Amino acid sequence: MITPAEKFWLNWHASQSPAPDAQRARIVLLAASGARPEAIAEALGVPFAEVTTALQGWAARRLGDFPRPALAPLALCDLTQVDRPHARRVADLALTLFDGAHSLHRLPARLRPALETAALLHDLGAVLDRPARHLVGRELLLGLDLAGFTQAQQQIVADVVGLHRKKVRLEDDARLAALSPVRSRQTLALAALLRVADGLDASRTQTTELHGVVVTPESVTLRLSGPEAKGDGARARKRADLWRSVFHLPLETAPAPEPPPDLRQLTATPLTPDTPLSEVTRRALAIHLLRWQANEAAAMEGDAPAVKAVRVSARRWRQALEVFGGCFKRKPTQRLRDRIRAAERALGALRDWEALLADVKAYQTEAKDGVNTNELQPLVTAWEKERRSALQEVKKWLGGPEAADLQAALVNFISAPPLRADEPVRAGAPGVLRDCLAEVARRQAALDDSQPKSYHQLRLTLKQMRYALEFLGPALPDEAQTLVADLVKMQDRLGALNDTHVLHKRLGDYLDGWAEQQARRKAPQLHGAQGLLEYSRARRESWSQQVKDLNADWPPVRAARLKQRVNALLRQLRSA
């Protein structure tokens, strides 16, 4: 007795494997059809002993007596006559569910390819045994080496395929019951996503579109459109029994709202002197929403460049709404800015700790002879702990409802901005840039060496000027790019100055805590402190030197010179 999956692979070996393996496969297939060994030997023209050896090997090792086929997922689809359009649509729907419901399932991004492949192969066993296609498909996947996957990843794919239909009873499935708690939870979560995705193309028309996944504490709602959306949605809800068991939330479906704006098309819209300022704002918001989305998954895994990218996107959203705020109604715009500011706070603490750690480690490497940098190791350890804590908060926030709600709010704003007054770049840019100039002049006049915050305020106003020029850039003369480059240099100078100020404060907090510990231990006041004190002294000297170094990059963007350069841009803009 052989299973459908075994018969499939034996037939494959009979036609695809080298001669010895192909011959053994034919022997087993003939035996399975009821032929006696003597008849098999005569039919194939092989010695009787070869037949008995082949059958003994099969009885002992089954498919393990043959080399494992190595096939790519799509080649396997073709081999088993999978309905490719349906499989591709289910895979796309499953990926949309994975991304849209991340705050619910919290699966690592590395499992996303496994879900896609399981979706492509979910009907793998249909041509062999349609009623039991999920189990046959799993067995087929356990009988080969799937190209591009490790053995562990392939087992996840196989288990998800095996769970994609029928009621799941872990206690009746020895293979699933043997999984670790973590692997079991991941496998069930992936299967829950696949079952719903399969239901969303139950009509097999590939016409039902999934526009969004709305996760609330009470339920998960899928926004659907298409001529078969009602029936496919009903089937998806019926297939959500495992979903409810794993995620503990009901699944609902609802018609999709009006189509969201095409963000990519919006970002490609050319800007001219006659483009309305509201369009400049929408374009800037769309550019940085796409950048956020492109880096979001990696940021939720803790990737430092990705976290920085989403933080920068949030900063530019807020600046776009501040620079061009006069175009929009105040209250709804302020509400959106407040939500963006909350995102910046959630993402910003990590950046400070990373800058602090980079500084102290650089100091350890570059310290002069005679400085005991080992005394700085407790400080490094303490700050690394703070960084890990900040990173966990970032990952938690990005995977939570606030981040998802913020993106939805941005899409709504881009789709239907609450306009108050609007004018083209030619008419509106002078007012925008001159407001920025006035603020730069005010902050420059207020500089005070004894007030580090005054330098930080100047940095923020120069940054706002830079962003305004970048947002308007495609509609401005080419000289605007040179001015932006000069602003970036000065912004970097002031940024380093602010980092040093933050370091002073954090180091002071650490020294205060360290001194209290020493006092409780009744240890000598300077025991273990020489390295810390030397580091603190070096950074105080660094502050003074950085203030002096500002003049290297300041002249091109001092208030008076900056005003001349901006006015020259505006004259060219008017004559364009």
Output the pLDDT for position 484.
93
Residues 6+ apart with CB under 8 A from 450: none
Output the pLDDT for position 362.
81
CA 191 to chain centre: 21
- The whole model's pTM is what? 0.56
- The DSSP 8-state label assigned to residue 488 in this structure reads H
**How sure is the predictor about 176, in pLDDT bands with cuts at 50, 70 and 90?**
confident
Please give the Cα distance from 49 to 51 (Å, whole number).
Answer: 5
Output the pLDDT for position 259.
64
Bridge-based pairing of strands 209-215 and 220-225 is: antiparallel
Average pLDDT, stretch 431-445?
94
In this model, does residue 5 exceed pLDDT 90? no
Amino acid letter for position 315: R
Please give the Cα distance from 222 to 144 (Å, whole number).
Answer: 36
Contact call for residues 73 and 147 (beta carbons, < 8 A) = yes
Q: Picking from 229-238, 361-370, 497-506, which range would have the lowest pLDDT averaged per residue?
A: 361-370
Distances (CA, A) of 526 to 364, 369, 537: 20, 20, 15
Which candidate, 368, 284, 353, places its Cα nearest to that of 321? 284
Contact call for residues 519 and 449 (beta carbons, < 8 A) = no
Please give the Cα distance from 381 to 395 (Å, whole number).
Answer: 21
Output the pLDDT for position 517.
66
Task: Sheet with 251-255: list strands edge to edge.
Answer: 209-215, 220-225, 251-255
Beta strands in 157-199 (DSSP E): none
**Interior angle at CA 489, CA 549 and CA 551, nearest 5:** 25
Q: Please report, rounded to a whole number, the percentage of residues in the chain having pLDDT higher than 90.
A: 37
Output the pLDDT for position 313.
95
In this model, does residue 512 exceed pLDDT 80? no
Beta strands in 99-227 (DSSP E): 145-146, 209-215, 220-225
Average pLDDT, stretch 240-267?
85
In this model, does residue 488 exceed pLDDT 80? yes
Average pLDDT, stretch 152-162?
88
SS3 554: coil
**How sure is the predictor about 374, in pLDDT bands with cuts at 50, 70 and 90?**
confident
Which candidate, 399, 413, 473, 464, places its Cα nearest to that of 437? 464
Domain 71-255 is in which class?
A: mainly alpha
Query: What is the sign of the dihedral through the CA atoms of 422, 424, 430 and 436?
Result: positive
Structure tokens at 243: 């979903």
Please give the Cα distance from 327 to 57 (Å, whole number).
Answer: 80
- The DSSP 8-state label assigned to residue 416 in this structure reads S
More confident residue, 260 or 243: 243
Please give the Cα distance from 318 to 313 (Å, whole number).
Answer: 9
Output the pLDDT for position 98.
93
In this model, does residue 137 exceed pLDDT 80? no
Which candidate, 215, 198, 216, 214, places its Cα nearest to that of 206? 198
Contact call for residues 504 and 540 (beta carbons, < 8 A) = yes
In this model, does residue 249 exceed pLDDT 70? yes
Which candidate, 57, 75, 56, places its Cα nearest to that of 140? 75
Largest CA distance in the chain: 104
DSSP string over 1-39: ---HHHHHHHHHHHHHS-HHHHHHHHHHHHHHTT--HHH
In this model, does residue 357 exceed pLDDT 90? no
In this model, does residue 140 exceed pLDDT 90? no
Output the pLDDT for position 379.
82
**How sure is the predictor about 367, in pLDDT bands with cuts at 50, 70 and 90?**
low
**Interior angle at CA 418, CA 415 and CA 423, nearest 5:** 100
Please give the Cα distance from 77 to 108 (Å, whole number).
Answer: 26
**Interior angle at CA 42, CA 40 and CA 43, nearest 5:** 65
Give the CA dihedral 486, 487, 491, 494, nearest 10 degrees: 80
Give the range with max mean pLDDT: 123-132, 169-178, 565-574: 565-574
> Quick one: 332 exposed, middle or buried, by C-beta within 10 A (0-12, 13-18, 19+)?
middle
Please give the Cα distance from 163 to 118 (Å, whole number).
Answer: 10
Amino acid letter for position 566: V
Query: What is the sign of the dihedral through the CA atoms of 7, 11, 17 and 22?
Result: positive
Classify domain 261-422 by CATH number: 1.40.20.10
For the chain, what are the domain ranges?
A: 4-67, 71-255, 261-422, 424-576
Please give the Cα distance from 122 to 118 (Å, whole number).
Answer: 6
Please give the Cα distance from 1 to 555 (Å, whole number).
Answer: 87
